[in-house]
């Protein structure tokens, strides 16, 4: 009898240890992408109109690393998982002008805190364009439009509740409350509130509705005659819609649009009124084979749609040929073109043109 008990004990202990090995394990992964670029065309007056994607003077050229990710995922248990991710890129230069490194993600995820929903705490992705970026599938070429134009940060130090509305997962929700300061420490009492609904009736098609409120301090009303002057709201609001279809290794297309009003964000004839930015983006890709694909995208962006404001809208294009000699390597000859609305004095702005060869590679 003692031998039977001993054997059973060993078997039970072995099963426990094996289960722990399955759960308590870490995974290292990452990817890098960069380019050889050449600013073939620029306007002499472009400095005030340019954006991150097309910044730099004419004839500037060189090799750049636009992103390096190093990620460590660790499963504490079946209920708790963590992620720690570092990012290095040329936009995060250090004081001595070296490529900087910062914490991109650092969060704890409590799975199924209640049926079908997870709780996440820490530095984490925001819901603004996580889905659209996935269907776009070419982040190594460029950010999606709201990320590119700085409408919403890709990360926030926040608390999130996300999950399925129905058993099949046709409807999903994502609610977040964050500092509204991206990856930076909090410096004020104001927060950002995010809400996102995703609808996926079939595997290939997804639609999302997104909204957020970024609270900001009130500002003085210039038309007020009281002492001290009355104050009015100055919050940022964002609304977005995305429709996307993706057939893996075949083709994809998507449409994304947003409005970004700031309450009382501009002064016109001594009166405050809302300042509203808007954007529209459409993209498509087609695979000739598993190794070769073509990609195209068009963005329209106007930072202020008010009829009193002219000369600030632009059209942005990217065209690429993606070659994958390996599942983890992509080489992409591509070109970015940006055209600009004429400024109010009638002067036209020459287009910005940047051809590149982009290299993307990942590791596990």
If you write DSSP's letter for every residue of 11-44 in order, what string do you get?
HHHHHHHHHHHHHSEEEEEEEEEEEEEE--B--T
SS3 (DSSP) at 274: strand
CA atoms within 13 A on the CB side of 154: 15
* Cis peptide bond N-terminal to 228, omega within 30: yes
pLDDT, mean of residues 103-132: 96
Judged against a pLDDT cut of 90, whether residue 224 lies above it is answered with no
Which structural domains are found in the chain, ordered by start? 22-363 (2.40.160.10)
**pLDDT tens readout for residues 225-260:** 888 889 999 999 999 999 999 999 999 999 999 999
**3-class SS of residue 341:** coil
How sure is the predictor about 364, in pLDDT bands with cuts at 50, 70 and 90?
confident
Taking residues 11-23, report their average pLDDT.
Answer: 44
pLDDT cut 90: percent of the chain above it: 73
With 60 as the cut, is the pLDDT of residue 204 above it? yes
Mean pLDDT of the chain: 89
* Residue 19 pLDDT grade (very low, low, confident, very high; cuts 50, 70, 90): very low
Q: pTM of the full predicted structure?
A: 0.88
Q: Are 361 and 36 in contact (CB under 8 A)?
A: no
- With CA atoms as reference, report the closest residue to 70 among 88, 90, 86: 86
Q: Which DSSP string corresponds to 35-96?
A: EEEE--B--TTGGGT--GGG-S-TT-EEEEEEEEEEEEEEE-SSSEEEEEEEEEEGGG--TT
Both tokens of 220, joined, read 């003085």
pLDDT 10s digits, 130-139 = 999 999 999 9
């Amino acid at each position: 009898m003692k031998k039977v008990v001993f054997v059973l004990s060993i078997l039970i202990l072995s099963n426990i240890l094996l289960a722990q090995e399955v759960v308590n394990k870490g995974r290292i992964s990452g990817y890098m992408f960069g380019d050889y670029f050449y600013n073939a065309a620029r306007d002499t007056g472009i400095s005030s109109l340019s954006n991150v994607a097309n910044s730099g003077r004419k004839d500037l050229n060189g090799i750049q690393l636009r992103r390096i990710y190093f990620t460590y995922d660790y499963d504490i248990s079946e209920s708790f998982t963590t992620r720690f991710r570092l990012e290095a890129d040329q936009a995060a230069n250090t004081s001595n002008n070296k490529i900087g490194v910062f914490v991109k993600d650092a969060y704890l995820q409590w799975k199924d805190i209640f049926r079908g929903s997870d709780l996440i705490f820490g530095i984490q992705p925001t819901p603004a364009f996580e889905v659209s970026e996935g269907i776009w599938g070419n982040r190594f070429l460029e950010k999606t439009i709201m990320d590119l134009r700085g409408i919403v940060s890709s990360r926030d130090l926040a608390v999130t509740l996300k999950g399925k509305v129905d058993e099949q997962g046709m409807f999903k929700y994502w609610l977040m409350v964050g500092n509204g300061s991206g990856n930076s420490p909090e410096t004020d009492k104001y927060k950002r509130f995010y809400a996102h609904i995703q609808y996926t009736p079939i595997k290939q098609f997804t639609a999302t509705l997104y909204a957020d409120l970024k609270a900001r301090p009130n500002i003085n009303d210039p038309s007020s005659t009281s002492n001290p002057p009355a104050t009015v709201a100055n919050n940022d609001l964002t609304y977005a819609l995305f429709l996307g279809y993706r057939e893996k290794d075949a083709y994809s297309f998507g449409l994304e649009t947003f409005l970004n009003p700031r309450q009382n964000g501009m002064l016109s004839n001594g009166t405050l009124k809302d300042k509203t930015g808007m954007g529209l983006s459409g993209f498509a890709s087609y695979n000739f084979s598993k190794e070769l694909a073509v990609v195209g995208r068009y963005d329209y962006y106007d930072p202020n749609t008010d009829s009193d404001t002219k000369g600030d809208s632009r059209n942005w294009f990217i065209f690429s040929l993606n070659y994958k000699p390996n599942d983890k390597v992509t080489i992409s000859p591509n070109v970015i073109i940006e055209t600009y609305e004429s400024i109010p004095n009638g002067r036209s702005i020459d287009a910005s043109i940047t051809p590149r060869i982009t290299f993307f590679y990942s590791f596990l």
